[in-house]
Amino acid sequence: MLNSENTYEWFIKAFYPKSGLDLNFYKQNQMQRRIQSFMTSHKYQTYPDFIRAINSDPVLYDSFFKHLTINVSQFFRDTTQWNTLRDTVFPKLTQQKTNLKLWSAGCSSGQEPYSLAMTLVEYFPGINFSILASDIDVNVLQQAKDGIYKQNDFTSTPPQIIQKYFTLTDKGYQIKDIIKQKVTFKRQNLLTDRFDTGFDFLACRNVVIYFTEEAKEMLYQKFSRSLNPGGILFTGSTEHLFGMTNLGLKPVSSFFYQRQE
């Protein structure tokens, strides 16, 4: 093995063809730490050995990809913000339009898009809507399509919502079709793929935490162009757009931004 093969830069290049994940867009310190901790716990000492292993073992590859992309989620994660959405943001949006196009970008196993769908069905009965939900990880997308959840996905979910929109089965809580049919799932890499346009609402929460500042700014520029004028961007509870000028997005409440006319 050449010395130059056991560097992080080498790993980034070697990992890209199989994964489509360009780690240059992610913060190096955090990513390197996550890769190293996974390698250590699986007893790999060098990047080339590890790349060989994940290229030949699909189970190891999936488990590593999951570790790297961190797909922890929950229904109605950060209750205060979902209350603001229900009590302030959606009432204004639905006053202007009765047909909404929404997007949950980095949707993990579906908790976020299904929470959006349940909010609209439960509190805004006259509104027609469709939700696109995208993620880079095909395994979480499959879980989202299956729509079966465990008790600990519901820490922030009101009991009457669980009762109304889920059926308890042997495998867990199954989301009902009335909600499921509102959401279309697709694989998409937010850093490299083309975006659809004409959205009235876009949630991208807890996805950009490990992106570099440049990658975040580029992403928010693209998000802004995907929104209709008056459309809303909903960010995660540590994600502010401070200092990002010229995005054409103005804050309307904490963690909600509106695309300017």
Ligand X SMILES: C[S@@+](CC[C@H](N)C(=O)[O-])C[C@H]1O[C@@H](n2cnc3c(N)ncnc32)[C@H](O)[C@@H]1O
Pick 13 or 186: Cβ nearer ligand X = 186
What x/- string results for residues 85 through 114 when contact with ligand X is judged by CB under 6 A?
A: ---------------------xxx--xx--
136 binds ligand X (CB under 6 A): yes
**Half-sphere exposure of 229 toward its Cβ, with a 13 Å CA cutoff?**
2
User: Residue 202 interacts with ligand X (CB under 6 A)?
Assistant: no
Residue 140 or 179: the one with the smaller Cβ distance to ligand X is: 140
Q: What is the nearest approach in angstroms of ligand X to the Cβ of residue 249?
A: 18
> Is residue 153 at the binding interface for ligand X, with CB under 6 A as the rule?
no
Q: In angstroms, what is the minimal distance from the CB of 57 to ligand X? A: 20
| Residue 206 binds to ligand X (criterion: CB under 6 A) | yes
**What is the nearest approach in angstroms of ligand X to the Cβ of residue 132?**
13
- List of residues contacting ligand X (CB under 6 A): 69-73, 77, 106-108, 111-112, 135-137, 140, 188-191, 205-207, 236
